[in-house]
């Protein structure tokens, strides 16, 4: 389980600027729990592939994380990792994953892992460098892109399939390429386990108050200058509104136009 933040700017911006002082304080307090790695990916200009950084270190006190928060870009995604129990904390498992000009970050857990892995082609399985369900989820999306679907179509098709096969999984994800930020908000039936809650309890006093209201919710806002931001609870603040549940939303980098498709509609079309 993890925390997510992203923005698509009207011109150029940085994560620190879009979060503001309060948002950065919330993000760093969340890193007390979500301290199993951090990552950033940004697109300098529409039409250019994203640059990506990731680390298995905590964001707290990491100079590379501070520099990433100040990196100017047209769009960017930020990820704080809280490793699923049993999965190693190492650079290979840190998000975002970046392959073929696409960066991908996930907040959730898709279990059982063996069942998810069985969905991969042999070619996709051979590309895995880590052991996470998140990297497998991303590999499935890339399979659909290789078949000729756009990234938006591929993401929606895979999310709808996984929702059917793993009804309790959180599929929340951010994808960024040279054209779009794609946001999967699919966690309507997801909950924290008792084990997760026991890990969270000792830090209750230092985490943002809204963090536990709906752990898997994603919210967004449009600023006065047209910049669109997306954040997990604890990152998103006052004035943010909930993204449509069980949906995939695409935000174009060139004009910040928005389109949303519900997973149920995708499932009805393709089963």
What angle (nearest 5°) sits at the alpha carbon of residue 197, between those of residues 78 and 209?
Answer: 60
Q: Could you report the per-residue pLDDT of 246-262, keeping only the tens digit for each?
A: 999 999 999 999 999 99
First to last CA, the chain: 28
Find the helix packing angle between 133-146 and 151-165, rounded to 10°.
Answer: 130
Predicted pLDDT of residue 208: 65
**How far apart (Å, rounded) are the C-alpha atoms in residues 13 and 97?**
22
Reported as a single tens digit per residue, the pLDDT across 146-188 is 999 999 999 999 999 999 999 999 999 999 999 999 999 999 8
Whether 256 contacts 11, CB under 8 Å: no
Residue from 103, 101, 104 nearest 133 by CA? 104
Helix axes 263-270, 151-165, angle to 10 degrees: 90
Please tell me whether residue 139 adopts helix, strand or coil conformation. Answer: helix
For the chain, the average pLDDT equals 92
Under 8 Å CB-to-CB from 105, ≥6 apart: which residues? Answer: 2, 4, 39, 41, 77, 79, 95, 96, 97, 134, 173, 174
Q: Which of 248, 51, 236 lies closest to 141 in space, CA to CA? A: 248
Domains delineated in the chain: 2-270 (3.60.20.10)
Interval 2-48: pLDDT, tens: 999 999 999 999 999 999 999 999 999 999 888 999 999 999 999 99
């Amino acid at each position: 389980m993890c925390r997510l933040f992203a923005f698509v700017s009207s011109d150029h911006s940085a994560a620190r600027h879009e979060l503001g002082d309060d948002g950065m304080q919330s993000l760093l307090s969340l890193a007390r729990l979500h301290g199993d790695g951090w990552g950033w990916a940004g697109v300098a200009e529409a039409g250019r592939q994203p640059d990506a950084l990731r680390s298995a270190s905590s964001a707290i006190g990491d100079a590379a994380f501070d520099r990433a928060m100040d990196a100017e870009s047209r769009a960017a995604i930020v990820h704080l990792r809280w490793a699923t129990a049993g999965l190693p904390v190492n650079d290979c498992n840190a998000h975002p994953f970046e392959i073929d000009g696409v960066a991908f970050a996930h907040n959730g857990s898709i279990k059982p892992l063996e069942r998810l892995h069985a969905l991969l082609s042999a070619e996709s399985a051979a590309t895995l460098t880590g052991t996470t369900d998140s990297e497998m989820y991303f590999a499935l999306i890339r399979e659909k892109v290789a078949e000729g679907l756009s990234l938006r179509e591929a993401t929606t098709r895979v999310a709808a399939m996984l929702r059917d096969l793993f009804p309790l999984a959180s599929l929340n994800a951010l994808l960024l390429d040279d054209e779009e930020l794609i946001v999967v908000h699919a966690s309507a039936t997801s909950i924290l386990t008792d084990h997760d809650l026991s890990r969270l309890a000792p830090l209750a006093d230092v985490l943002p108050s809204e963090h536990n209201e709906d752990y898997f919710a994603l919210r967004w806002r449009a600023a006065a200058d047209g910049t669109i931001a997306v954040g997990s609870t604890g990152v998103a603040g006052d004035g943010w509104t909930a993204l449509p549940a069980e949906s995939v939303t695409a935000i174009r980098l060139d004009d910040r136009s928005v389109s949303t498709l519900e997973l149920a509609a995708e499932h009805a079309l393709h089963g």
